[in-house]
Amino acid sequence: MNKICLILVFFCTACITKKEIAKTGVEQIQFGSGGGFTGEYITYTLFQDGEIKKGEKIVNKISLKETLSRYAEAKSLSAYTFNDPQNMTYFIGILMKNDTNNISWGIESQEINKETQNLYKKLIQSTTTN
């Protein structure tokens, strides 16, 4: 009986988290970097279910709690505008239902806000399994 209760609590908690992720209004977060000598860009996508893909390949899956946190941070940046691509460019694309906000910056970008940099670091760290 206790196992059944634990399973039900787990599923109810997971559903609430998925609903909370959807409530952010963010549908996907794309992020990555590129340019430099090769001009190649690497793009990752964080989906609402926690999957992180590079192209069609799943590179990692993070918890729904962590996904909710990243989506909430992205939501807070959804109106932030910054476009300063350089030789080596970093970017975050926040895909909402009716809009997309693309933020891009380079190593020497002095005006990029700390929230964007912190979100980018967390997203990049989440592309590898611990």
Reading the chain (130 residues) residue by residue, the pLDDT tens digits are 566 644 544 555 556 678 888 899 999 999 999 998 888 999 999 999 999 999 999 999 999 999 999 999 999 999 999 999 999 999 999 999 899 999 999 988 889 999 999 999 999 999 987 5
Beta-carbon count within 10 A of 128 CB: 9
The pLDDT score that the predictor gives to residue 107 is: 86
Instruction: For tokens 């899956």, name the residue.
Output: 61
For the chain, the straight-line distance linking the first and the last C-alpha, in angstroms and rounded, comes to: 34
Q: Residue 90 is encoded by which pair of tokens?
A: 């970093």
Domains of the chain: 2-125 (3.30.1560)
The pLDDT score that the predictor gives to residue 99 is: 93
